[in-house]
Amino acid sequence: MDDHTEVVQIEYDPDQWTYDELLEVVWANHNWATEQKRQYRSVILAHDDTKRAIAERSRAALADRTGQSVATAVEILDQFYEAEDYHQKYELRTVPVVADELEALYGDAFTASTVAARLNGFVAGYGSADQRRELLATLDLPPVVIDEIRRRL
């Protein structure tokens, strides 16, 4: 277990977000100041030297702005492996009726589903009440899923 780090791979549209803007979201949404063991360490894995340099500058700016040491490492991505299916959408899987219904609905696309990712975040306690209400109002999901999500929130 000590030879890997659990990470999230983010795909973004550079016409919508700059890499610098994405990094600001990353800094604002994780604990960048605390050292962790390898499996749970904080790291930004850049796809190329240019993005690595940008991330390193952003890291240095955060340290300057806060006056704190930044434990988050910046490295080049060597290889990315998706977690096993049973690790995907972990929080949703704690609500079996929801996970089962969504897996039946999305099939193999369940783990890549943006809807499932957002619902997973909501179940984990992220997002505002307005964001949850807004998304749930737009989804065409079985009532049992919507009801269970609302109950859990």
Sequence-distant (6+) residues with CB within 8 A of 117 are: 89
Q: What is the pLDDT of residue 23?
A: 97
Q: What is the pLDDT of residues 30-78, one digit of tens each?
A: 899 988 888 889 999 999 999 999 999 999 999 999 999 999 999 999 9
Q: What is the pLDDT of residue 101?
A: 87
Three-class HEC string of 51-109: HHHHHHHHHHHHHHHHCCCCCCEEEECCCCCCCCHHHCCHHHHCCHHHHHHHHHHHHHH
Q: What is the pLDDT of residue 61?
A: 97
Q: What is the pLDDT of residue 109?
A: 87
Residue 113 has pLDDT above 90, yes or no: no
Distance separating alpha carbons of residues 119 and 136, to the nearest angstrom: 9
